[in-house]
A and B are shown apart, each in its own frame.
Chain A
Amino acid sequence: MTPFVRLDGVSKRFDTAVAADGVTLEVERGEVLALLGPSGSGKTTLLRLLAGFEQADAGRMIIDGADVGGLSPARRRCGMVFQHYALFPHLDVGENVAFGLRGKKPGGRVTVERQVAAVLALVDLAGFERRRVQELSGGQQQRVALARALAPEPRVLLLDEPLSNLDPALRERTRRELRQLIKRVGITTLFVTHEQEEAFDLGDRVAVLAAGRLDQVGTPDDLYERPASLFVATFVGRANVFRGAAAHALGGADGQIVVVRPEAFRFSEIGIPGVVKERRYTGAAAFYLVDGGRGERFEVLAAPGAARVGDRVFVEATRVLTFAEERE
C-alpha cells in the first residue's frame, strides 16, 4: 500500500538553526502519527512545512499521490489546529466553523448551516453557533478549533500541541475524547507534542525528533523496548545511563554505553554494590535512588518493601540496552 502522506528528504534552515534536516517520513491513510521531541527539535516546523506556512529548502512532500510543495496553504486541504487555537475573535462560534465552507459548496447558506451544526455536534458543542469565542472555556475553544479545521473535510489533520493549553486536570479527559473523535472521523492525523505520555496515548506510531533529525519512527512499544539511539532511549521513558567501567561491569563492550530501565534492575545478592539514598513511593511500587560510589547514581523500580533508605544493596540488571559511544 502506498503511504497517504510522504515526506522525502525535507530540509528547512532558519538563519542559523536547522529546523528540519533531511526528514523522510511516511504516514498511512487513517493513521495517527505523533511527532515527539524536546522544544527546538523542529517538530512544529515539520507541521508548518506540511501545512504550507513555511517553504522547505529541499525535499518533497506528497499528500495522496500529489506533490504539494508548490501549493499555497489555502490549496493544500490540511486542517490545522493551532497551539493557542487561533479562533477568529471577531466571529462567533458558527462563523468560525463556517469560515472554510464559504464559496466551496453549492447549495448556499442552508447547506453551510447544516454542515456547521453537524460538525459542532461531532465535537459535542451542538447549539453553540451564536456564542462568542471569548466566553468559552479552554476545552470548548479547543473543540471549536477542531470543528473549524474538520468542517471543510481536509485530507490531513494537523494538531500543534493540542493539549498544552489546557488544565492538567482537563488534559486526560480531553485526550481520551480527542482520540475517540479522530478514530470516528478516520482522518489521517499528524500531531506535535513534547509529552511522551500524550504521544504514546494518541499516536498509532510515534516519530521522535532531535535537532531537526528524525531519530526513530515506530509504535510506542518499539520505541521503549528497542530504541534506535541513545537519545530515544533517554527521551522516551526513564533510563539509567552508564559509561566506561560501569558500562563494562554491566556487560557492555569497549566504547559502548549501557542503558538500563529502572524496572530492568532488581535487588539481588550479586551485581553492582551500592547504598539506597532515597525512596520514592508511588503506590504499586517504589523508585529507589542507589549510590554506587564514584558519583554513579541510578534508579531502581521495585516492590514498595524491597529496601530501606541507608541499606547496603546489590543491584542486578535483567535487561540492558547498548549503544555505540556517540561522536561529535
Chain B
Amino acid sequence: MNSGNRRGLPGALLTLLLAWLVLYPILVVVAEAARGDAIAVFLSRGGEWHALWASLWISLASVALAAAVGVPLAFLFEWLDFPGRKTLGSVIALPAVLPPFVGVIAFLFLYGESGFVARAVQHVLGLERAPWRLQGAGAILLVHAYSMYVYFYLFTRAGLAKLDASMLEAAQALAAGRWETLRRVTLPLIRPALAGAALLVFMTALGSFSAPYVFGGGFRVMTTQIVATKLNGELPLAMVETVALAGVALGGLLILRHTEGDDILVALGKGTAPRRRPIQSVGGRALATAAGWLLALLLLLPHLTLGLVSLVPYGTWTTEAVPPVLSVVNYQRLFGEPERLRPLVNSLWMAAASTAAAVALALVAGALVGRRRPGRIPWRGPIEGLLALPWALPGTVFAVALATTFSVQHPWALRWVLVGTVVLLPLGLLVRNLPLTGRAVLAGFRQLDPALEEAAASLGAGRWAAFRRVTLPLLRPALAAGASLAFVAALGDFVTAIVLYTYDNRPISIEIMSSLRLSELGVAAAFGVILMGLSALVLAVGARR
C-alpha cells in the first residue's frame, strides 16, 4: 500500500529511538554481565541464590495474600448491598494514592517498633521494650498485601460487573447450587480478570524496592541485593544480579500471560449485571456495616498516621504513647527554607518533564501505528513491544541499566556520560513512564473511529489541522488518564531515584529517607503528606471527564 511505504521511515526512526531508550541499556547490562568471572561468583555465593529465591516466593505469596483480601471484598461490594456500601467502595481504593515509599514510611510510623500500635500495646501491657519489631519477610508481605490487594479488588469488580445475570440464572435453572454456580460459571468467566490482577501484583511485588529496603533488615530480595552490591562497588556482580532479576520477571510474565487466556466475555457482548442482593437480617446488616467501617479505618490508618506525625515538632515525642505537642512547624520550615523546598521543586519538574516527554513519544507512536487500519501496519509490533518493555522489568533493572549505559563517553556507541548529571534521573523516569502513557494513548487511538479523521479530511482539513481539531480533542481523556498516572508514578518514585539521583536533583523520596536518617520524623511525614495530597489531586484531575 502506498501510505504504508510513506509511514515506513518515521516508524523505523521511532523504533530506533525507543530501542535506544529501553532495549539498548538492557543489552549493555547483559554484555557487561557476561564479561569476566562475575557469573561464576554469582553462582558460587549462597546469598545470591537466597535473594533470588526470596524475590520469587515473596512475589508469589504477595499474589496469594492480595487475592485473599481483594477478591472476597470485590464480591462483597459487587453482589451485596448494605448501608455505606458506596462510600466504603471508594475508600477501599485509597492505598492506591499512597506512593510505595510513603506507604512504607506510614507503616513504619504505625506498626514499627516505635510506631503507634506498638507503643499502645507496650503501654497497655506495661512492657519494658517494644512488643515486636517490624522486620523481615512478614513485614514486607504485610505492606504488599495492603498496597496490592487493590489490583485484585478493582479487576475482580470490573470482571463481575461484566457478568450477565441471565448466565447465572441459566446455571441455576440447570439445577446448579450457589457454590456450584460460583465454581463452574462465575469463576471461569472472571478468570481473565483474576489472571490480569495476579500478573500485575506479581510484577509489582517482584520489582518492589521500598518495603524490602526499609523493613528487610538482613532479609534480602534481589532488588535490594542489587543496590547493595552496587554500593559495595562490585559492579560486574551487580550486572549479573540485574540480568537474573530481569530473567525471573520475563519468565513470570510469560507463564502468567499464558494462563490469562482470552476474555470470552467481550466476545459474548455485555448483558445486565446481576442485581445487588441486600443483606436481609438486621444482625447481618449491622455486622456488615461495622466490619466495613472497621476495614475503612484500617485502610485509612496509614494516611492518618502520616498526617499526625507530620504535626510532631522535632524532638518533642520520646516515650509517650501519643505525641504530646502538635504544630504546623514542620510545614512552615518546609515552605520557609528554600533549601528544604528544593526536593519538592525537583520532583515536580522531573515528573512534569518525564511525563511530557513520555506523552509526546506515545502520541507519535499512536499517530504512526495506533490507528485502526486494514492490513499490516509496518513497525506496529516493535513499537508497541518497546513501549511496554519497561513495565515487564523491575525498576531497579532499568535504573542500573541506564546508570551503566551512560557512565562512559562513547558517542560512536550512542553512550555519553550522564551519571552525576541532573539529566539521568528524569531520563529514567521517562523510561518508566513509557508503558503508562503508551498504553493509554494507544488504547485511545484504537477507540478512535477512522471515519472521523476521514470526515475532517473531506471537509478540507489537512493532516495537521485534522489532528489538532479532531484527533487531539477526542484523545483528551486517554491523554489525561495516561499522563496523570505517569506523573504520579514519577512524583512518588523511589526505586529509580536511589540509583540515579544526584544532590542537585534529589527528589522528595530521597529527602524523606535522609530526614528519617536524621530522625526528623515530622519533616519526613510532612513530605509524605504533600506527596500523597499531590498524587490524589493529580489523579482526580486526570480521571475527570
Contact = CB atoms under 8 A, between A and B. Distances in A.
A89 B477 CA distance: 13
Given A14-B375, A86-B449, A88-B470, A51 B459 contact: no
B375 A74 contact: no
A90 interface: yes
Given A82-B451, A86-B449, A90-B474, A99 B456 contact: yes
A15 B457 contact: no
A82 B460 contact: no
Given A14-B375, A15-B375, A88-B470, A53 B452 contact: no
B283 interface: no
B2 A86 contact: no
Interface in B360-379: 374-375
A209 interface: no
Interface string A115-144: 000000000000000000000000000000
B469 interface: yes
Contacts of A80: 454-455, 458
Interface string B375-397: 10000000000000000000000
Given A14-B375, A55-B3, A82 B457 contact: no
Interface residues of B, number: 25
Contacts of B465: 74
Contacts of A74: 457-463, 465-466
A6 interface: no
Interface string B427-467: 00000000000000000000001011011111111110110
Given A55-B2, A55-B3, A148 B459 contact: yes
B473 interface: yes
B454 A53 contact: yes
Contacts of A55: 1-3
B265 to A, nearest CB: 25
Nearest to A145: B455
A104 interface: yes
A51 B2 contact: no
Contacts of B457: 52-53, 72-74
Nearest to B452: A86
Secondary structure at the B interface, as helix, strand, loop or mixed, is helix
Contacts of A51: 454, 458
Nearest to B453: A86
A318 to B, nearest CB: 48
Q: Counting chain A CB atoms within 10 Å of each CB, which of B375, B452, B473, B476 scores highest?
A: B452
B474 A89 contact: yes
A99 B455 CA distance: 10
A74 B476 CA distance: 24
A78 B465 CA distance: 18
A20 B489 CA distance: 51
B124 to A, nearest CB: 60
Contacts of A75: 460
A99 to B, nearest CB: 5
Given A84-B451, A86-B451, A88-B470, A79 B458 contact: yes
Interface string A48-85: 00011101000000000000000011111111101110
> How many A residues touch the partner, as a band?
20 to 34
Nearest to A80: B458
Nearest to B461: A74
Interface in A244-292: none
Interface string B470-485: 1001101000000000
Contact of A104 (B1, B460, B466): B460
Q: Counting chain A CB atoms within 10 Å of each CB, which of B3, B451, B466, B473 scores highest?
A: B451
Interface string B327-352: 00000000000000000000000000
A212 interface: no
A162 interface: no
Contacts of B463: 72, 74
Given A53-B454, A55-B3, A88-B452, A100 B459 contact: yes
A84 B449 contact: yes
Contacts of A149: 458-459
A150 to B, nearest CB: 11
A44 to B, nearest CB: 11
A83 B454 CA distance: 12
A100 B460 contact: yes
A74 B458 CA distance: 5
Given A84-B449, A86-B449, A90-B474, A99 B458 contact: no
Contacts of A14: 374-375
A220 interface: no
Interface in A287-314: none
Contacts of B449: 84, 86
Interface in A137-181: 148-149, 152
Interface in A4-47: 14-15
A104 B457 CA distance: 14
A73 B3 CA distance: 13
A53 B374 CA distance: 13
11 contacts: A14-B374, A14-B375, A53-B458, A55-B3, A73-B454, A73-B457, A74-B460, A80-B458, A99-B459, A148-B459, A149-B459
Given A80-B458, A99-B459, A149-B459, 15 more contacts: A14-B375, A51-B454, A52-B457, A53-B457, A73-B454, A74-B465, A79-B459, A80-B454, A82-B455, A86-B455, A88-B452, A90-B470, A99-B461, A104-B460, A152-B459
Q: Which 6 A-B pairs have the closest CB atoms?
A: A100-B459, A86-B451, A73-B457, A86-B455, A80-B458, A55-B2
